[in-house]
């Protein structure tokens, strides 16, 4: 038995042993996010099947699903009538993905990476091509796809220097899977070089498809109405992570009055209530977005903090804000995506930790669409200062121009996927699949 086979064997049995605990955790998370309790059988490769010949796009969570929306739109243009099989790993990703479906499409959970679950998944759905978004390299899934003759693409691929160093510990498991990918479409030259060093064979640079995300115009319009009605500056905290809110609120309370309104949007919905309590404990007056529908009530205008406890409304929040503090960048968490903020014309102030989106962050600073600061105290001070800056309108214009400048990755990525799928792809001009390479041999 080869070292690769031994590594995959150990990985598979470890997952099998942990599955009972994994399902207990899913049930526990389902207390606050009921989506986790849906369609458990799909996690094992069971459940309803879809029509063969679809483009299978895996977008694990909310951020990847938003990026996948731009890619799916581009795929529909270049392969008119192609069906989409959309898979996820999180409840927020699945909820957002439901809005992307059309007649003939199918949505389900990605199965856990055991040989049996991945084999059953491919047997049930028989996709023409598989597209894994960003970092989702799963050894058994890619092996079973290879055996089935399903070409696999890692799209919008990224690998930071930090992640590459940490990944060396699992090189024995991940490198063979990376080598089995048919095509890797990287965001940047740096990502491409690191992915090639990890074993990926066919690596091309297509850019970041998140620049092609189009903010919902109705949400943007609503956000601008909110901002006009408030008649006071607004500073947003975009996608805050655990451990960031307390120091940020201390820095905020230290700012001299009158302060702008602070719009605090946590990254994870299961933390909404906990963050609300953190705000109350800080002594600041709180209002929650979930309290109203379209228009904030008049008594909410005098609050110190608004909690953005809703899903799918980030364009609204960015449009309502003068400047955004980038969550995940003030603690060593790698930062969050700043592209959506730029697309909504909202300049960004970010901390030193942006290794997950380093190229986009550096480019935004160079374009003067964003500021980088040393810590949260400086970040809060600069954000408040920027709301009072006479040149604020120019910052907003540069942010929007920066987002516009980098568009086109979704089109380039879709073209390469359609080329790779070739005649396997079923489209409106006929069911033109060359055929699934199965039936597969059932794994042990």
Output helix, strand, coil percentages for the chain, rounded to the nearest 5. 50, 15, 35
CA distance 212 to 340: 9
Tokens of 194: 């690191």
**Is position 358 annotated as part of the catalytic site?**
no
For 179, other C-beta atoms within 10 Å of its C-beta total 13
Give the largest CA-CA distance in the chain.
Answer: 70
Q: How far apart are the first and last CA of the chain?
A: 15
Q: Is the Cβ–Cβ distance between 360 and 339 less than 8 Å? A: yes
Helix residue ranges per DSSP H, 171-313: 171-180, 189-197, 217-230, 245-253, 272-281
β-pair partners for 234: 261
Residue 415, phi then psi, degrees to nearest 5: -60, -45
CA distance 355 to 160: 6
Catalytic residue among 4, 33, 42, 64: 64
DSSP letters spanning 93-131: HHHHHGGG--TT-EEEEPPPSSHHHHHHHHHHH--SEEE
Tokens 């969570």 belong to which residue?
Answer: 61
Nearest-CA neighbor of 245 among 264, 262, 261?
A: 264
Tokens of 85: 């099989």
Question: Angle 376-388/392-405 helices, nearest 10 degrees?
Answer: 110
CA distance 276 to 288: 8
Burial class of 415 by CB neighbour count within 10 A (0 to 12, 13 to 18, 19+): middle
Burial class of 423 by CB neighbour count within 10 A (0 to 12, 13 to 18, 19+): exposed
* 3-class secondary structure, 324: strand
β-pair partners for 55: 84, 129
CA distance 396 to 343: 10
Nearest-CA neighbor of 119 among 440, 444, 363?
A: 440
What residues act catalytically? 64
């Amino acid at each position: 038995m080869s070292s690769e086979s031994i590594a995959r064997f150990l990985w598979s049995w470890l997952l099998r042993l942990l599955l009972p605990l994994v399902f207990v955790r899913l049930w526990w998370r389902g207390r606050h996010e009921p989506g986790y309790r849906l369609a458990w059988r799909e996690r094992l490769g069971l459940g309803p099947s879809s029509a063969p010949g679809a483009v299978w796009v895996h977008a694990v969570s909310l951020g990847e699903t938003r990026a996948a929306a731009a890619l799916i739109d581009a795929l529909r243009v270049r392969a008119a009538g192609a069906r989409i099989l959309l898979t996820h790993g999180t409840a927020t990703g699945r909820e957002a993905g439901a809005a992307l479906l059309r007649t003939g499409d199918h949505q389900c959970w990605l199965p856990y990476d055991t040989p049996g679950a991945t084999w059953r998944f491919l047997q049930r759905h028989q996709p023409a091509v598989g597209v894994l978004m960003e970092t989702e390299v799963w050894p058994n899934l890619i092996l079973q796809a290879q055996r089935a003759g399903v070409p696999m693409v890692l799209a919008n691929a990224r690998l930071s220097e930090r992640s590459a160093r940490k990944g060396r510990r699992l090189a024995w498991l991940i490198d063979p899977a990376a080598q089995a990918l048919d095509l890797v479409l990287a965001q940047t030259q740096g990502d491409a070089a690191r992915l090639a060093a990890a074993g990926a064979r066919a690596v091309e640079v297509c850019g970041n498809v998140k620049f092609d995300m189009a903010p919902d115009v109705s949400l943007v319009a609503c956000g601008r109405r909110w901002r006009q009605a408030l008649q006071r500056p607004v500073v947003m905290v975009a996608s805050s992570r655990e451990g960031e809110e307390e120091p940020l609120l201390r820095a905020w309370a230290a700012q001299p009055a009158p302060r702008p309104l602070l719009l605090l949007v946590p990254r994870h919905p299961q933390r909404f209530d906990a963050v609300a309590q953190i705000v109350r404990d800080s002594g600041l007056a709180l209002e929650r977005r979930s309290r109203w529908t379209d228009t904030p009530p008049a008594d909410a205008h005098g609050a110190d903090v608004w909690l953005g406890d809703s899903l799918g409304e980030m364009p609204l929040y960015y449009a309502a804000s003068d400047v955004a503090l980038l969550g995940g960048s003030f603690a060593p968490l790698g930062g969050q995506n700043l592209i959506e903020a730029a697309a909504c014309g909202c300049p960004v102030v970010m901390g030193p930790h942006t290794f997950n989106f380093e190229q986009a962050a550096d480019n935004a600073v160079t374009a003067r669409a964003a500021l980088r600061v040393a810590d949260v105290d400086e970040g809060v001070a600069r954000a408040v200062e920027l709301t009072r800056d006479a040149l604020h309108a120019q910052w907003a214009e540069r942010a929007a121009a920066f987002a516009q400048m980098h568009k086109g990755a979704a089109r380039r990525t879709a073209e390469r996927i359609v080329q790779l799928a070739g005649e396997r792809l079923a489209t409106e001009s006929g069911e033109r699949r060359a055929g699934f390479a199965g039936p597969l041999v059932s794994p042990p």
